[in-house]
Amino acid sequence: MQNELHIRRTVEGRVYDTDTAVLVHVLANEGGHIALDFHADHTALYLTRRGTFFIAGQSGACGRWKRRRNGGYAPGCGIELVGDTEARRLLEQAGGPVEKYFKVF
C-alpha cells in the first residue's frame, strides 16, 4: 500500500484518521494507480488508541471504495468500522499478525 494514504472521517460522532491510528496490516494492495486502474484496491486494517478497529482504503472506479459520480462510478476512498470478530477474521484471511492483537489458543 502506498504510504500516502491519508483518510480522516467522522463515523458515528467520532473521528477516525489513518495518520493517528496504528496500521495493523495491509489487507489488499492490488493494481496500480487508483485513477488509472479501475480495479485497483488499496485497503488496510487500523487500530485506534481507544482500541477500535477500522478498515480504510482507496480504490478505482470498480473497486470497494468507488463512489457514484455523474451517473457512473469514480475512484474513491473511505473508512468502515469493524468489530473485533471481523478484524480477527480479516487478519487471519490476510495472513496478518493475529497473535499480536488477539488471544491465540
In DSSP terms, which residues pair with 14 in a beta bridge?
Answer: 11
**Exposure pattern of 76-91 as b/e (b: 16+ CB <10 Å)?**
bbbbbebeeeebbebb
pLDDT tens string 31-78: 777 767 787 889 999 999 999 999 999 998 888 999 998 889 999 999
Is 4 or 32 the better-scoring residue by pLDDT?
Answer: 32
Whether the pTM exceeds 0.75: the reply is: yes
Mean pLDDT of the chain, nearest integer: 89
Helix or strand or coil: residue 48? coil
CA distance 81 to 99: 21
**What per-residue confidence (pLDDT) applies to 2?**
42
**What per-residue confidence (pLDDT) applies to 39?**
78
CA distance 95 to 24: 12
Q: What are the sequence ranges of the domains in the chain?
A: 8-96
CA distance 26 to 42: 8
Q: Report which residue type is found at 65.
A: W
